[in-house]
Chain A
Amino acid sequence: MPRTQRVRQIDRGDREATSWLPLRVVYPVSAVVGNETAKRALMLLAIEPELRGVLIACESGSAPSTLARGFASLGVNRFGETDSTLVELPISVTEDRLLGGLNLEKTLASGHRELAMGLLARADGGVLFADNINLLDGIAAMHVAHALGSREVRMEREGLSAVQRADFKFIGTYNPAEGEVSPLLRDSVGLIVESSIDCSADEKVEVLVRAFRFDRDPRGFIEDFAIETAETESAIECARELLPRVRISKEHRRQIALIAMKLGVEGNRADVFAVRAARANAALGSRKAVADEDIVAAIQLVLIPRATTMPEEAGNSKHPDGQQQPSDRDAENVEQDLVPSAIEDLIIPPIDQTVSQEMLTAKSHITRSSGRGKRLKAAKSARGRYVRSTDHRAGDFRVAIDSTLRAAAPFQLNRRARVPGRAGVRIEPSDLRFKEFKHRAGMLFIFAVDASGSMAINRLAQAKGALTRLLQQAYLHRDKVALISFRGTSSEVLLAPTRSVELAKRLVDALPAGGGTPISAGVIKAIELARLARLQGMPRAMLVLFTDGRANVTLNGSRTSTDELEHLGRLLKAEGITPVVIDTKSRFVSSGEGQSLSDMLGARYFLLPRVEAQGVYDMVTRAATEIYTSLV
């Protein structure tokens, strides 16, 4: 039996020149204008590697992204080789590139299995950096998260069994407008910088000036900032030395745990990170004991980004079930005894500062599951996951080395005897085996509920029932559902695309109703969701629109709703979204508005005046089946 091997790669020759960049000229960190929070987070990570990683919300190509790259390569000048490894993670990375697999050339040459290292193992001892990690495939994000947690990569692939060391720090940036980061990955890094605040006009000018200078003469620019860079590095170095001696009082520990609880932070990992962040922050400030300001920094960078509830909410009616409230109140009482009000004053303001209304609603986005499709059974393509090998060559094929070798192996002695002399493994065309890939091809069902009329609550309940039913079938299909509502002039995502029954059950049962019927706004929101889902590998979406009225609010006052809806209909078609309109108006009141709406959108039309969840579910699955049969 092949013993699992612990591998620590030392051979640099195996690494590809493109994925580690010690020689590339990087914009110096010390020259980045503003972005103090992101800078602080990165410095804390440099001081305390146990914080594991930093996530920074920003637009790609903006300062934080530059900063992250700069920081990732900070050690280069100073700490020599060991610290300098910077592995860049392309978001389109495939599973075998990430984890490693058989090294074709070496295996063929020697006849022994040789391991090709994956990106995760290559980053060992250094930094793994990725831009736009929210677009990373769910499975890939999970592998990164696991490596961060266990500091190793377990691989059982292509006839190889190995445990490779993968102790790296992770720096990732993401653009929140393009979707959330995989919750697993969020959970496994210590520090999250959620707000990169826009800088002032003066600062913007300074950014441009420096950028020009850097473009014109990078070497000179780096020289100009050499002193600042050296200062940053020595600050980090001093803090590293101080860190083991930094103490944290029991009282401060309790405060961290308490705030974590009040914010509804899941799991205990965040508490551990928060304590470490507080100590690193103290070390950075040359303090031997953690002070209140360090706790504040830890709360800001570790706990608030993981909040699921806000302390202010505890008293009011956000929780529909009454059971929640007493325990919240208990926590509050406990808290009054524990935290001296002076410290509370210190702690609460940063919470207020960072927590916008947006963040509160954004918390319902903790979803995004990852899975592969089964609906289109093992869709043949070179994307997705290598699951097994076949001897059929289909379309965009890739050779499965392990199986090919196995196929060729038994004939080696014969072949060598036949044509002696040549070394290595003799492979003939008939030996070739090809990788069979499977990728998720599930469907996203977007339920858009009209919350304008008086029957809004009923429609919401029906939609909720139908989508829960769909989810319970999701283990068969690997589909996802999402729910949005629209009223007044805007539309809101109540449930971001998910596969989790748990999350769907937690959906609010009531929502504010009344106002105009902005169907366009709802459709636009659905298109946005579908686009994001497609980026993450879900190519098909269905929009199920529940309404009893006519569109009477347009996105733009100068257009008629007919024009707008017809345009949206074309857009839906172009985006590959199948629309379905469910008219909830009773037959004798209906004047054909629902029918004409669905004509404009190019949708299927169903009149369901007495909608029941089961009816909607049957209808939706029937329509979905039709779509699939038309596809195959």
Chain B
Amino acid sequence: MPEKSNQKTSSRARIAYPFTGIVGQDEMKLALMLSVIDPNLGGVIIMGHRGTGKSTAVRALAGLLPSIKKVKGCVFGCDPDKPNELCQECAEKLSFGERFAIARGPVPVVDLPLGATEDRVCGTLDIERALVEGVKAFEPGLLARANRGFLYIDEVNLLDDHLVDVLLDAAASGRNIVEREGISISHPARFVLVGSGNPEEGELRPQLLDRFGLYTQITTITDLDQRVEIVERRERFDDDPTAFEAEFAAAEDQLRKQITRAKKLLARVEVDRRLLMSIAELCVSLKVDGHRGELTIARAARALAAFEGRTRANAGDIERVAVMSLRHRLRRDPFETVDSGARIEQAISQMFSQSQTQTRLAAIK
């Protein structure tokens, strides 16, 4: 769509701090990598102290994402290879036997800023076209822009309730249905939700919390050398972002390639039955409701194996992803003082020490 506004636009896009330049916070980085490799994981929520690099990491993500194939000119960026997930327009073209013109483009990483109004999130009638041409045209919103990409909500626990409702609907169905102001449209809106926030600011609605595949907790780094390193890097970046970016270009490139390989490998990674059993046992022993817990662990373990170039997930993968997959799914007892992460770790160590003894016993027999 041509830009009609006469506002001054500045071409200088801010350089984002490179992902590989982030010191420490391994759990958060791993969770983000896994959800890039497998978008079906359900995204990540990062909760923790202010000033620990939550939004820096998410904004750095854009630089790591491999480009994707899109239907040329489609505002929703439809995938030409997935006929079931097309928007109305592309689906019509397909049914008339037209061939799609294909373009490559970046994976969208869309910010949902606080204070956004519903019309900009869902999309609505295009005023300008209506005024000038008298046509009722749909103007896509943020959900359309985020299709096939990432939707990032900073301070997710402060998001307005009515926007949460909109997000939940779209996240559950993968489509955004708009019925407003004489517009009636449904379009694909498959996106990976990434949220961050500080738990001290308030609680998150449980329905929304449940939507996130992985939950990572982030705390202030207490290692002196790392802290000094963080400050030094931050200063270097602020003083000369271009030079800093160049310094990490090789590392970024390598990580990008690793992600691309992992995405290709993902479909071939196997999780054998014995592992699935132990995942189920773990969830049973922790009394996790529903099946999302098991599913998330299995998927995350698979993505982790792919990330490390293996075609088979192992017990170690499960140990590494279980805490972030389950942390927000345990039943919460108001009088519980033990951190849920610690409870999960305990359950894992118990289970695996048992299974190890069993395998050893079996070996002896």
Contact = CB atoms under 8 A, between A and B. Distances in A.
Interface of A: 1-3, 5-10, 50, 95, 99, 111-115, 139, 142-143, 146, 149, 151-152, 154-162, 165, 183-184, 187, 250, 253-254, 256-258, 260-261, 265-272, 275-276, 327, 334, 366-367, 369-372, 374, 385-388, 402-403, 405-407, 409-410, 412-414, 425, 438, 465, 468-469, 471-472, 474-475, 498-503, 505, 613
Given A2-B1, A142-B158, A261-B222, A268 B51 contact: yes
11 contacts: A3-B1, A50-B238, A261-B224, A268-B227, A271-B227, A327-B222, A387-B162, A403-B181, A410-B182, A475-B202, A500-B201
Given A143-B115, A406-B125, A369 B200 contact: yes
A139 B127 contact: no
A463 to B, nearest CB: 13
Contact of A502 (B10, B125, B200, B224): B200
Contact of B127 (A269, A405, A503, A505): A405
A266 B49 contact: yes
A425 B113 CA distance: 30
Contact of A266 (B12, B112, B119, B220): B220
A269 B220 CA distance: 10
A503 B334 contact: no
A162 B115 CA distance: 13
Interface in B222-255: 222, 224, 227-228, 230-232, 234-235, 238
B220 A385 contact: no
Given A159-B124, A374-B161, A7 B200 contact: no
A372 B115 CA distance: 12
Interface of B: 1, 3-14, 49-53, 55, 75, 111-121, 124-125, 127-128, 130-132, 134, 136, 139-142, 144-145, 154-155, 158, 160-162, 181-182, 198-206, 220-222, 224, 227-228, 230-232, 234-235, 238, 332, 334-335, 337
A7 B117 contact: no
A159 B134 contact: no
B228 A500 contact: no
Given A257-B231, A406-B130, A387 B117 contact: yes
Nearest to B206: A475
Nearest to A153: B113
Q: Which of B112, B117, B130, B221 has the most CB of A within 10 A?
A: B117
A405 B8 contact: no
A162 B131 contact: no
A142 B114 contact: yes
Contact of A1 (B117, B144, B220): B144
Given A95-B115, A156-B113, A268-B51, A499 B221 contact: no
B208 to A, nearest CB: 9
A143 B204 contact: no
Contacts of A275: 231, 235
4 closest Cβ contacts across the A-B interface? A267-B51, A409-B130, A269-B51, A413-B134
A184 B201 CA distance: 9
B238 A410 contact: no
Contacts of A385: 115, 160
A257 B8 CA distance: 42
Contacts of A367: 200
Contacts of B334: 465, 468-469, 472, 501, 613
Contacts of A406: 124-125, 127, 130, 181
B75 to A, nearest CB: 5
Contacts of B204: 475
Contacts of B337: 505
B365 to A, nearest CB: 42
A15 B320 CA distance: 54
Q: Which of B4, B52, B119 has the most CB of A within 10 A?
A: B119
A410 B141 CA distance: 20
Nearest to A476: B205
Nearest to B337: A505
Contacts of B51: 187, 266-270
A461 to B, nearest CB: 9
Given A371-B158, A472-B334, A6 B203 contact: no
A142 B155 CA distance: 9
Contacts of A425: 131
Contacts of A152: 14
Contacts of A268: 51-53, 220-221, 227, 230-231, 234
Given A50-B238, A267-B51, A465-B334, A6 B125 contact: no
Nearest to A9: B8
A6 B50 contact: no
B7 A253 contact: no
Nearest to A275: B231
A159 B5 contact: no
A629 B130 CA distance: 45
Given A142-B114, A254-B224, A370-B158, A2 B205 contact: no
Contacts of A187: 50-51
B220 A257 contact: no
B7 to A, nearest CB: 5
A5 B230 CA distance: 32
B108 to A, nearest CB: 11
Nearest to B230: A268
A267 B160 CA distance: 26
Contacts of B145: 1
A5 B75 CA distance: 17
Contacts of B227: 257, 260-261, 268, 271
Given A387-B117, A412-B134, A253 B202 contact: no
Contacts of B205: 475
Contacts of A475: 202-206
Contacts of B50: 183-184, 187, 266-267, 269
Contact of A407 (B118, B140, B181): B181
Nearest to B6: A112
A272 B203 contact: no
Contact of A159 (B139, B199, B231): B139
Contacts of B220: 265-268
A386 B14 CA distance: 30
B9 A370 contact: no
Q: Which of B124, B127, B222, B337 has the most CB of A within 10 A?
A: B127
Contacts of B161: 372, 374
Nearest to B161: A374
Contacts of A370: 158, 201-202
Contacts of A613: 334-335
A257 B220 CA distance: 12
Contacts of B115: 95, 99, 139, 143, 155-157, 385
Contacts of B224: 254, 257-258, 261, 334
A256 B8 CA distance: 42
Given A438-B160, A469-B334, A500-B203, A253 B10 contact: no
B72 to A, nearest CB: 14
A519 to B, nearest CB: 28
Given A371-B158, A409-B134, 15 more contacts: A5-B9, A95-B115, A112-B5, A113-B128, A139-B115, A142-B158, A184-B201, A254-B228, A272-B231, A370-B158, A385-B160, A403-B181, A409-B127, A409-B130, A471-B203
Q: Which of B75, B111, B131, B238 has the most CB of A within 10 A?
A: B131
Contacts of A272: 230-231, 234-235
A253 B200 contact: no
B7 A503 contact: no
A510 B1 CA distance: 64
Contacts of B335: 465, 468, 613
Contacts of A438: 160, 162
A460 to B, nearest CB: 14
Contacts of B199: 500-502
A402 B335 CA distance: 48
A159 B228 CA distance: 44
B202 A499 contact: yes
A475 B201 CA distance: 12
